[in-house]
Amino acid sequence: MLFHVAMEVRLPPDMPADQANDLKTREKAMAQEIQRAGKWPQLWRVAGRYANISIFDVADADELHTLLSALPLFPYMDVRVTALARHPSAI
């Protein structure tokens, strides 16, 4: 099942730099692991913002929630999810 996921990260401005850098390092490693597993086939940066647009290919909404909520930056994210269905005009 495909999902369009928009994520925007909002780290607290007073978060120590070393803590923020640790979260970002762990986030990158986990995101790449999920991509290599084929569950996160598209990841696009939103220019000018600490945000991304992604396509996830997972079994269902429960699996998507499990993956997203395990991301180290999840507590600092605004996440919007849209389930996708094949368009009848798509080739």
pTM of the predicted model as reported, rounded to 2 decimal places: 0.93
Long-range contacts of 56-62 (CB under 8 A, 24+ apart): 56/2, 56/3, 56/5, 57/1, 57/2, 58/1, 58/3, 59/1, 60/1, 61/1, 61/3
Domain boundaries, the chain: 2-84
pLDDT of residue 65: 98
What tokens appear for 87 in the block? 């368009």
pLDDT of residue 34: 98
Q: What does the pLDDT profile of the chain (91 residues) look like in tens digits? A: 999 999 999 999 999 999 999 999 999 999 999 999 999 999 999 999 999 999 999 999 999 999 999 999 999 999 999 999 999 999 9
User: How is domain 2-84 classified at the CATH fold level?
Assistant: Alpha-Beta Plaits (3.30.70)
Question: Strands 42-45, 51-57: parallel, antiparallel or unpaired by DSSP?
Answer: antiparallel
